[in-house]
C-alpha cells in the first residue's frame, strides 16, 4: 500500500465549500482512479491535512487519467477555496495497525 499526506491552507470562510469539493473529489478518485480513500483532518492551527491511501505508487502517479469530465470543475472548485495545497509526504506502508 502507498500513502500520501496533503496539506491544505483553506481560505477563511471557504471551509464548508472546501470540504464539499474534497469529499466529491475523493469519491471520484475512489470510483475512477483506484484510490483506496482518504481521511481529512483539521489541525489545531487551522490547516487541513488529508491522508490518502493507494494500492501502489504507480496507481497514485497515474491518477487523473480516468476521471470523468465533471471532475475538472470539482478540482477547480476545491483549488479556489485554498490559498495553497502541498503534498507533504509520499510513503510505503511498513506496518498497518489501523482498524
In a domain, 23, yes or no: yes
Q: What are 61-90's pLDDT values in tens digits?
A: 999 999 999 999 999 999 999 999 999 999
pLDDT in tens, 26-61: 999 999 999 999 999 999 999 999 999 999 999 999
Which residues are paired to 8 by β-bridges?
A: 48, 85
Is the pLDDT at 98 greater than 90, yes or no?
A: no
93 assigned to some structural domain: no
Instruction: Find the CATH number of the domain harbouring 18.
Output: 3.30.70.100
Mean pLDDT of 1-8: 97
Q: What is the mean pLDDT of residues 17-25?
A: 98
Q: What does the pLDDT average to over 4-11?
A: 98
- Is residue 54 within 8 A of residue 1, CB to CB? The reply is yes
Which residue has cell 490559498? 83
Supply the range of the domain harboring residue 38. Answer: 2-83
Q: Quick check: 68 and 32 in contact, CB under 8 A?
A: yes
CA distance 61 to 7: 18
Residue the block writes with cell 483553506:
10
Amino acid at each position: 500500500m502507498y500513502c500520501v499526506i496533503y496539506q491544505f491552507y483553506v481560505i477563511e470562510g471557504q471551509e464548508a465549500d472546501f470540504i464539499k469539493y474534497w469529499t466529491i473529489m475523493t469519491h471520484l478518485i475512489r470510483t475512477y482512479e483506484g484510490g483506496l480513500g482518504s481521511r481529512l483532518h483539521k489541525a489545531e492551527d487551522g490547516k487541513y491535512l488529508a491522508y490518502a491511501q493507494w494500492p501502489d505508487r504507480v496507481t497514485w502517479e497515474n491518477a487523473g487519467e480516468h476521471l470523468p469530465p465533471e471532475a475538472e470543475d470539482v478540482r477547480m472548485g476545491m483549488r479556489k477555496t485554498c490559498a495553497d495545497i502541498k503534498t507533504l509526504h509520499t510513503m510505503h506502508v511498513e506496518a498497518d495497525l489501523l482498524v
